């Protein structure tokens, strides 16, 4: 290569074979065969003539059937006499690689190549910022994040990774342009939040020129900056003024025909005289070289990876959280019952993002490879009711914690707790238990980070579903037919049949069913059905609020629910006071049980609970009238009481109460069958969508649901 020229040197490729032959970006959509060849040639020549005043143009011969070769920015990334060749993401452009490779070799460049399977699209996705002596590099669309550490190492540069999230801005040079003055022109919405933070940390506000959406769509960021000149397609007066104020002269070069393919001035050129970096010198005189913040971690994931969609979810979340993945190995379980195993390598642009992805993958059941498994990191509580930073947050899934070299199954599994490990180092037996933040005691040791944590998913969860409340295995007859998810179209009768079948079996084996009803159960006239289920032995505990009890008792004592006569369906004169009279009566007795003993309360849901010695808990709320003496107005106490009654539950019927159902859902570990009945699909979805196989949502009227259930379970009044 020659280095005599004072002018900048740019590689260009005449558009002899340019055309839109395929669609590999949103700009090309609808434009196939729609670019005018004559106009394209005319526009390109005009641009080349303008450039020649400031730069020396080197020409690479265009090739037939490679219509995008005009976009030489994607040939590779040059620094001094080195070039890293592109590895195109799309097969349509891979044919260009050999031509660029030959050209660089013939012109004296040291040609570097990335490993075969790592896509990288050259100076389209990697931009030198000589003012900062860094390389800005993108991932998320074409270039793979894994390419960044290779670039750092091959070119001895500091690489700053940015994630692209808008497919219109599929290359970094379509939405980001470092200028020689240290300014950048960029379109912030093309990047994720982390990348925007990184940009803001590196470039002070006075040097950041944010393009409007209109300007970004006109490709203002796809600009060629040579000294004080900026060549771009088209810009608003406002932006031109801003650039003028920063000391630049804007030269507009209409390139509409190329814009149809998603490229403008910058895409059509590759700078060949990128000067070597002015690298910072460390105190010991050595230069800082080859730096990338990209971190990796290998994880294994095992289970019914394909049929349960687990692998797809794991890979999707890695990308959505700003990382990228590579499946290192995959063993497919050949039979329906056999498990699959995948080893995946996650890359992230920063340690904190990698930790966040790892935590979520561990929640999905991923584990570190055997050789990397270590004890969980423990930190002591120094303030009662406050956890150390970075505490591990529990999920609904059975979790194991490694302490003293052994895996311990966590007790009291529930979501939104922390893990306390009761273990003296080197002393057994140790225990791990799930505790709420507010209950933490000083000096307790809790797990921080995700090391030494594994979540048991999939096959085991199925086994737990078939377990009895006393922990004994119920045999191989687990039920799987009640599919997870929500369906309003699903015939209610069919779901009711299945629930009835399961309720009967739980009763036969002495299991535990918890009912969580709202006052709507009474208003819809279904109180008598629930009372019959209790009398029939199908309910082992009831959790609710003040209202379900108030309205049930009002109905039992005065024949109305909120003043409405349920027999006739019409309001009763003075009926609006009925619920207060009912509350007053129970308050006089001292409790609901006392009212039953005194012969005052003789029918209804709560009468049956008392008579059949079924435990119940009523949690207070700000809406409550009264309250009844049985309603626990101390929220923490009522949460504890709910948790106590939920222990050992195999099935929970949540009947038209959003408040109490969500409260109960949060306390319940995976493996417990949840049935949520509500007329509002949003409520059902929220409860059923816990990512667990055991939730069934039924969108229907609770009165209809209970009447069908009672018809199946107690056909004759019992």
Tokens of 392: 């591990």
Whether the Cβ atoms of residue 301 and residue 366 lie closer than 8 Å to each other: yes
Minimum distance, C-beta of residue 660 to ligand NAD, in the bound complex (Å)? 6
Q: Of 294 and 547, which CB lies nearer to ligand NAD in the complex structure?
A: 547
User: Least distance (Å) from ligand NAD to the CB of residue 536?
Assistant: 22
Q: Which residues bind ligand NAD (CB under 6 A)?
A: 518-520, 524, 545-547, 550, 579, 621, 623-625, 656-660, 678-680, 683, 701-702
- List b or e across 451-484, with b for residues whose CB sees 16 or more CB atoms inside 10 angstroms: bbbbbbbbebbbebbbbbbeeeebeeeeeeebeb
Is 378 in a helix, a strand, or coil? strand
Q: Residue with CB nearest ligand NAD?
A: 545
The catalytic position among 13, 221, 267, 676 is 267
Nearest-CA neighbor of 148 among 291, 248, 22, 263? 291
The H-or-E segment that residue 551 falls in is helix 546-558
Is the link from the previous residue into 490 a cis peptide, with omega within 30 of 0? Answer: no
Nearer to ligand NAD, 271 or 523 (CB): 523
Q: What are the backbone dihedrals phi and psi of residue 306, each rounded to the nearest 5 degrees, phi first?
A: -90, -50
Nearer to ligand NAD among residue 398 and residue 518 (C-beta): 518
Identify whether 267 is a catalytic site residue: yes
Q: Which is nearer to ligand NAD, 213 or 689 (CB)?
A: 689
Q: Chain centroid to CA 61: how far?
A: 47
Nearer to ligand NAD, 42 or 577 (CB): 577
Q: Report the nearest approach of ligand NAD to the CB of residue 544 (Å).
A: 7
171 belongs to the catalytic site:
yes
Structure tokens at 459: 């096959």
What tokens appear for 700 in the block?
């229907």
Compute the distance between CA of residue 467 and CA of residue 460 in angstroms, rounded to an integer. Answer: 11
Closest Cα to residue 361, out of 335, 407, 395?
395
212 CB-side CA count, 13 A = 10
* Closest to ligand NAD by CB, 539 or 617: 617
- Active-site choice (150, 171, 529, 578): 171
Minimum distance between the CB of residue 554 and ligand NAD, rounded to whole angstroms?
9
CA distance 173 to 513: 60
Nearer residue to ligand NAD within complex by CB, 196 or 591: 591
Q: How far is the CB of 669 from ligand NAD (least distance, A)?
A: 23
Taking the least distance from each CB to ligand NAD, the nearer of 157 and 676 is: 676
Which two three-digit tokens encode residue 557?
């004592």
Query: Alpha helices of 226-269 — where are they, by DSSP H?
Result: 237-245, 256-259
Q: Return d(Cα 585, Cα 556) in angstroms, integer.
A: 12
Minimum distance between the CB of residue 609 and ligand NAD, rounded to whole angstroms? Answer: 16
Output the smallest distance, CB 489 to ligand NAD, in A: 17
* Element (DSSP H or E) covering residue 39: helix 37-52
Strand order in the sheet with 229-232: 224-226, 229-232, 249-252
d(CA 515, CA 615): 11
Helix extents (H) in 372-475: 459-465
The closest alpha carbon to 649, from 521, 500, 504, 467, belongs to 467
CA-CA distances (angstroms) from residue 499 to 109, 354, 592, 635, 708? 72, 42, 30, 31, 11
User: Are the C-beta atoms of residues 10 and 270 closer than 8 Å to each other?
Assistant: yes
Minimum distance from CB of 550 to ligand NAD (Å)? 5
Which of residues 15 and 703 has its CB atom nearest to ligand NAD in the complex?
703
In the complex, what is the shortest distance from the CB of residue 532 to ligand NAD, in angstroms, rounded to a whole number? 18
What residues form DSSP beta bridges with 400?
409, 454
Q: Decide if 122 contacts 171 (C-beta within 8 A).
A: no
Which residues are identified as catalytic? 171, 267
């Amino acid at each position: 290569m020659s280095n005599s020229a004072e002018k900048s040197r740019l590689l260009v490729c005449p558009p002899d074979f340019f055309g839109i032959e395929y669609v590999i970006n949103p700009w090309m959509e609808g434009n196939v065969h729609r670019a005018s060849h004559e106009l394209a040639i005319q526009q390109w020549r005009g641009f080349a003539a303008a450039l020649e005043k400031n730069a020396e143009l080197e020409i690479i011969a265009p090739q037939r059937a490679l219509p995008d070769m005009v976009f030489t920015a994607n040939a590779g990334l040059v620094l001094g006499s080195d070039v890293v060749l592109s590895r195109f993401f799309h097969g349509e452009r891979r044919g260009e690689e050999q031509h660029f490779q030959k050209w660089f070799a013939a012109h004296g460049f040291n040609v570097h190549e990335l490993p075969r399977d790592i896509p990288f699209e050259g100076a389209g996705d990697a931009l030198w910022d000589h003012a900062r002596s860094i390389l800005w590099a993108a991932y998320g669309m074409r270039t793979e994040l894994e390419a960044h550490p290779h670039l750092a190492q091959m070119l001895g540069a500091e690489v700053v990774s940015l994630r692209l999230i808008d497919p219109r801005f599929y290359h970094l040079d379509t939405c980001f342009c470092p200028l020689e003055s240290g300014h950048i022109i960029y379109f912030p919405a093309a990047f994720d939040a982390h990348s925007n933070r990184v940009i803001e940390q590196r470039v002070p506000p006075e040097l950041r020129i944010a393009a409007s959406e209109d300007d970004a769509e006109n490709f203002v960021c796809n600009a060629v900056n040579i000294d004080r000149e900026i060549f771009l397609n088209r810009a608003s007066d406002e932006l031109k003024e801003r650039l003028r104020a920063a000391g630049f002269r804007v030269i507009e070069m209409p390139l509409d025909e190329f814009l149809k393919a998603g490229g403008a001035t910058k895409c059509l050129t590759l700078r060949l005289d990128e000067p070597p970096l002015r690298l910072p010198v460390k105190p010991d005189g050595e230069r800082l070289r080859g730096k990338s913040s990209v971190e990796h971690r290998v994880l294994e994931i095992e289970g019914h990876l394909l049929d349960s969609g687990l692998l797809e979810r794991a890979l999707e979340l890695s990308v959505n959280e700003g990382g990228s993945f590579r499946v290192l190995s995959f063993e497919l379980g050949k039979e329906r019952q056999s498990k699959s195993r995948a080893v995946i390598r996650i890359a992230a642009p920063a340690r904190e993002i990698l930790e966040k992805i790892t935590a979520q993958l561990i929640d999905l059941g991923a584990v570190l490879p055997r050789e990397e498994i270590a004890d969980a990191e423990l930190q002591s509580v120094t303030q009662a009711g406050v956890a150390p930073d970075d505490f591990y947050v529990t999920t609904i899934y059975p979790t194991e914690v490694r302490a003293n070299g052994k895996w311990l199954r966590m007790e009291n599994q529930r979501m939104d707790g922390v893990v306390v490990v009761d273990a003296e180092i080197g002393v057994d037996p140790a225990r791990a238990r799930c505790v709420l933040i507010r209950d933490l005691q000083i000096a307790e040791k809790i797990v921080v980070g995700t090391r030494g944590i594994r979540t048991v998913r999939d096959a085991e969860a199925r086994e737990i579903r078939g377990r009895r409340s006393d922990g004994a295995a119920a045999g191989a007859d687990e039920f799987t037919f009640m599919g997870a998810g929500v369906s309003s179209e699903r015939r209610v009768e069919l779901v009711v049949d299945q629930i009835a079948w399961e309720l009967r079996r739980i009763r036969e084996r002495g299991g535990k069913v918890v009912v969580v009803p709202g006052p709507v159960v009474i208003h819809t006239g279904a109180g008598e059905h629930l009372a019959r289920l209790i009398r029939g032995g199908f309910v082992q505990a009831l959790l609710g609020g003040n209202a379900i009890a108030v309205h049930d008792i009002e109905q039992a004592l005065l024949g109305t629910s909120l003043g409405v006569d349920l027999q006739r369906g019409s309001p009763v004169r003075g009926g609006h006071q009925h619920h207060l009279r009912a509350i007053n009566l129970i308050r006089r007795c001292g409790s609901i049980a006392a009212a039953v003993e005194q012969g005052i309360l003789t029918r209804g849901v709560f009468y049956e609970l008392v008579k059949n010695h079924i435990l119940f808990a009523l949690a207070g709320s700000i809406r409550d009238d009264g309250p009844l003496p049985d309603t626990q107005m101390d929220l923490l106490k009522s949460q504890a009481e709910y948790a106590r009654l939920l222990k050992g539950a195999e099935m929970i019927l949540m009947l038209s109460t959003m408040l109490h159902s969500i409260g109960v859902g949060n306390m319940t570990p995976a493996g417990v069958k949840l049935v949520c009945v509500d007329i509002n699909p949003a409520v059902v979805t929220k409860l059923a969508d816990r990512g667990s196989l055991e939730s069934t949502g039924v969108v229907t009227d609770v009165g209809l649901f209970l009447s069908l259930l009672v018809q199946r379970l107690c056909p004759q009044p019992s």
